[in-house]
Amino acid sequence: MAQAYSALGSTVTLLEAAERLLTREEPFAGEQLHEALVERGVDVRVGVEARAVRRDGASVTVDLSDGERVEATKSWWRLGVVPGPTIWASKPSASSRESRLPSMTRCVCRGLPWLYAIGDVNERWLLTHIAKYQAHVACEVIDGGQARATRDGGGAPRVVFTDPQVAAVGLTLQAAKDQRLNARAYDVLSSATAGAGFYGRDTPGTSRLVVDEDRGVIVGATFTGTDVADWLHAATIALVGEIPVERLWEAVPAFPTRSEIWLNLLEKRETELAREHDEAPVLIEQVRRATLALTQAAAAISEDRMLVPDRLATSLRHLLVIYVIAGRLDGGPATRSRHGDQR
């Protein structure tokens, strides 16, 4: 709302009690949004709390924890929600209320098997699409099915519709490490694809995959940038399906679409893992030399307008060198291809 009112011409001050914006997301997401808001004229203040609010006629005054004072004509507050007592059989005590919260997987209130709670009222994850997901589970359970709600926790898909947009699913890098996963993050620029040119070249934004390297699967993804919200479902499918990262190479993104961000992310992971291998620098140099020689041989063949046998043989040898080295960098035998055949 701060960005929306600023775009409409209002002078906006945004107060955040935490030390950064979007504390549940990757740090870079909050930082990029902070920068974007400041560029648009929003006065962003983090790490401050409102100690008192009073209205004097048409003016609202807010006293802050740092001793500052903000005056405005309107004030908006994001305070969160707590379910009221009306959904319970009687006004609950703290203990009885806790005992009647919906079960974690079936959306049924404990002690009240006839009462189902979906959406914001169950305090799980206050998002419209999660309420729709829980409604499906509840209907299945009522109909005698075995459906379970397993994806409505803190890692549920979520989007912040600002500019830049922030879209995320699963765990952040820190959250993954807190769960003692062997997690690594791989970052690329969101605008570093051919298709991004249709949305604005060099626009700010970062795309990150968090991978559990022990299992070789994605456990989190975050995208920031221009219109990145629709990227999220592909990441959600990969995460929920626990598709091995290496298998994702088979999901070839079309050129020139922004889906090639997945290609960039996979290449970034391979490059970083290869650099850690002792022989990687030597092999990469060999690839560079072989590629240069292959390019020169191809140029010579093009000039002669015929396939000279010795030059063709040289080109094939260099291709073989590149292929063998690529196999070694990939950590597997050179005969393995991504389709599982032998070459």
Average pLDDT on 266-275 reads: 89
**Exposure letters 285-312 (e unless 16+ CB within 10 A, then b):** ebbeebeebbeebeeebeeeeeeeeebe
Please state which architecture CATH assigns to domain 158-274.
2-Layer Sandwich (3.30)
What digits encode the pLDDT tens for the residues 132-147? 888 888 888 887 877 7
Sign of the CA dihedral running 292, 333, 186, 239: positive
C-alpha distances (whole Å) from 92 to each of 84, 89, 172 are 10, 8, 36
Q: Please give the pLDDT value at position 282.
A: 63
Average pLDDT on 199-228 reads: 93
Q: Please give the pLDDT value at position 76.
A: 76
pLDDT higher at 70 or 106: 70
Reduce the DSSP state of residue 254 to 3 states and report it.
coil
pLDDT confidence bin for 250, thresholds 50/70/90:
very high
Q: Please give the pLDDT value at position 169.
A: 95
Q: Please give the pLDDT value at position 249.
A: 93
Mean pLDDT of the chain: 79
Q: Please give the pLDDT value at position 72.
A: 87
**Res 295 pLDDT > 70:** no
DSSP state of 245: G
pLDDT higher at 337 or 67: 67
Choice among 95-104, 140-149, 295-304, 318-327 with the minimum mean pLDDT: 95-104
Q: Please give the pLDDT value at position 140.
A: 82
The residue ranges of every structural domain in the chain are 2-72, 85-142, 158-274, 280-329
Q: Is 124 exposed, middle or buried (0-12, 13-18, 19+ CB in 10 A)?
A: buried
Q: Which CATH number fits domain 2-72: 3.90.105.20, 3.40.50.300, 3.50.50.60, 3.40.640.10?
A: 3.50.50.60
Query: Tokens 């062997």, residue?
Result: 182
Q: Please give the pLDDT value at position 167.
A: 96
pLDDT higher at 142 or 105: 142
What digits encode the pLDDT tens for the residues 49-72? 988 998 888 888 998 999 898 888
pTM: 0.72
pLDDT higher at 126 or 80: 126
Q: Please give the pLDDT value at position 179.
A: 93
Q: Please give the pLDDT value at position 96.
A: 42
Average pLDDT on 264-276 reads: 89
pLDDT higher at 104 or 63: 63
Q: Please give the pLDDT value at position 87.
A: 44
**CA-CA-CA-CA dihedral for 38, 25, 188, 42, to nearest 10:** -10
Q: Please give the pLDDT value at position 134.
A: 84
pLDDT confidence bin for 122, thresholds 50/70/90:
confident
Interhelix angle 261-275/280-304, nearest 10 degrees: 120
**Res 22 pLDDT > 80:** yes
Which token pair is 181? 């996963």
**Res 99 pLDDT > 50:** no
Choice among 25-29, 188-192, 290-294, 334-338 with the minimum mean pLDDT: 334-338
pLDDT higher at 106 or 43: 43
Q: Please give the pLDDT value at position 97.
A: 42
**Res 81 pLDDT > 70:** no
